Amino acid sequence: MRGERYQNGMVILLTVLVFAAIPLLLNLPAWWFLWVPIEAALAVLPAVFLREVDIGTSPRSPGDVREALSSTLRAAGVSMTAAPDAVSTQVNALSAVRFRSRITEAGAALSYQVRPTVAGWALLAILVVSGVGSTLAIALTVALAWRARRFARVRGSSAMTASARASTSSASDQVRGLLVGSLSFGFHMAEQAYEAQRKAYTDARVLVVLGAFVLWTVLLVGLFLALNGLNLLTGRWETPIIGATSAAFLTGGALLAAMRRRYGPRISRYRDWKDRLGDAMGREMARTSPEPGSASSFELLLDASTQVPDWLDAQRKAGLSADPGIAFVVLVLTAFCASMIVNALYAALFGTLSVVPIWAGLAAILAGITAWIWYRWRRREDARLADSKSAWDAHVQALRARMDRFLEEM
């Protein structure tokens, strides 16, 4: 989730920087000592200042963790600024630290993010823009991150320790512990369903864009040949370009709208359940009552039981989107298999029939390996989802039995 978004953002940034370096490498190779440090700084600064690092988790609510952190900072004489879900404090004149607490399936997680101050941003921008100061900007960024990390680890660990001491429970709190554990498990399942469908939606949009580009290429070549034949030198490209571009945009736009209508309500529903279970889990850890007129945590848990098959089905429908590693392997093998098939067709068209069985055999082998990998992954994924369903049922049954015993004892 957080980490995956950060990694995806950094991959996109590095890809852009690599493509930006290509024309510089071709046109300005003698000035590499100026633009290479600038590109390195443009990669290092976001890598440091966009990363959010977890310090630990606590059995208390996110609000309790923030309160313990605020008390720790006040006791140390550190000035801070409180927000609804975060606490910010300045480390020195150039950097600050933003602490954030959020609900996870393991409890309330405390994380920190290094943030430059206004003076820090100004100094780093001047160093990067100057070119010759880019290396110094990288060194300064690493030094600020190291100093902020030490500060965040010390203050955050103290707050987590104080929160853990305040979370000592009595033996009569077993029902609440089971309830929090069940809500945590449900939150994890709803979050997995939400993330799986979000990744599937992203993959679908990428496929639509790639399909629109392929359609544009095919229509451009087809319309040019239909209107001009093979006259590449004097043929007119205006009509083919307008026709291919219009068709690609209309088709791509219609498919993107269809993907949004297909995935949008489903993603919103899973996100809503994730938020509801997360709020209930935080409420139970904080030992506060639900708002008047709202369902209790136990009623919400029973209602969530009816959604579990849908959550598991959402992960199953997402397919290889949930496993980027296997998806990449399948994509590479499929591309090689398609290449072998194209080579076989070329060999058949040009009359070299003796190599057609070789290409076809290689394509069949690659297709068999791909199918075997997918089948093994599918079986492993089905087994994991079945285990998740069994674990959920066990959680709910244990909670019901303990509540029945608790009511009998009363």
Tokens of 395: 């959680």
**Residue that is last in its domain, among 272, 302, 322:** 322
314 and 333 within one domain? no
Tell me: pLDDT of 116 over 70: yes
Nearest to 68 by CA among 105, 108, 104: 108
Nearest to 270 by CA among 189, 328, 337: 189
pLDDT band at residue 6 using 50, 70 and 90 as cut-offs: low
362 and 285 within one domain? no
Give the three-class secondary structure for 122. Answer: helix
Question: Residue 82: which H helix or E strand, with range?
Answer: strand 80-82
List pLDDT tens digits, range 123-176.
888 888 887 888 898 999 999 889 888 888 888 777 777 665 554 444 345 566
pLDDT band at residue 3 using 50, 70 and 90 as cut-offs: low
163 and 275 within one domain? no
List pLDDT tens digits, range 172-205.
455 666 677 777 777 878 888 888 888 888 778 8
240 and 181 within one domain? yes
Say what the pLDDT of residue 169 is.
47
Please give the Cα distance from 363 to 344 (Å, whole number): 9
For all residues of the chain together, what is the average pLDDT? 77
380 and 268 within one domain? no
Residue range 392-401: average pLDDT? 68
Of the candidate ranges 83-92, 242-251, 279-288, the one whose mean pLDDT is the lowest: 279-288
Q: To the nearest whole percent, how much of the chain has pLDDT over 90?
A: 2
Tell me: pLDDT of 404 over 70: no
Q: Please report, in angstroms and rounded to a whole number, the separation of the first and last CA atoms in the chain.
A: 43
Across the beta sheet with 107-116, what order do the strands follow? Answer: 53-58, 107-116, 95-104, 86-90, 80-82
Q: Are 297 and 183 in contact (CB under 8 A)?
A: yes
Tokens of 357: 């069985």
Domain count, the chain: 3
Strand partners, 126: none
Residue range 38-53: average pLDDT? 86
- The position carrying tokens 């070329």 is 346
Mutual angle of helices 32-49 and 2-27, in 10-degree steps: 170
Tokens of 408: 């009998």
Residue range 270-288: average pLDDT? 80
Residue range 265-274: average pLDDT? 88
Phi-psi region of 36 (alpha: psi -120 to 50; beta: other; left: phi over 0): alpha
Please give the Cα distance from 178 to 284 (Å, whole number): 11
93 and 221 within one domain? no
Q: How many residues in the chain? A: 410
Please give the Cα distance from 188 to 270 (Å, whole number): 11
**Residue that is last in its domain, among 263, 290, 322:** 322
160 and 25 within one domain? yes
Q: What is the DSSP string of 312-327?
A: HHHHHHHGGGG-HHHH
Q: What is the DSSP letter of 291?
A: P
Tokens of 321: 């989107």
Of the candidate ranges 111-115, 316-320, 329-333, the one whose mean pLDDT is the lowest: 316-320
Give per-residue burial for 152-188: e unless 16+ CB within 10 Å, then b: beebbebbbebbbeebeeeeeeeeeebbbebbbbbbb
**Sign of the alpha-carbon torsion through 98, 102, 107, 113:** negative
Say what the pLDDT of residue 8 is.
58
331 and 290 within one domain? no
Of the candidate ranges 130-139, 328-337, 384-393, the one whose mean pLDDT is the lowest: 384-393
Prediction pTM value = 0.56
> Containing domain of residue 248, as a range?
173-322
Q: To the nearest whole percent, how much of the chain has pLDDT over 70?
A: 79
**CA 303 to chain CA mean position, Å:** 28
28 and 161 within one domain? yes
**Residue that is last in its domain, among 134, 168, 202:** 168
374 and 310 within one domain? no
Maximum mean pLDDT: which of 80-84, 189-193, 341-345, 391-395? 189-193
Residue range 106-113: average pLDDT? 78
297 and 232 within one domain? yes
β-strands 80-82, 53-58 pairing: unpaired
116 and 227 within one domain? no
Q: Are 167 and 287 in contact (CB under 8 A)?
A: no
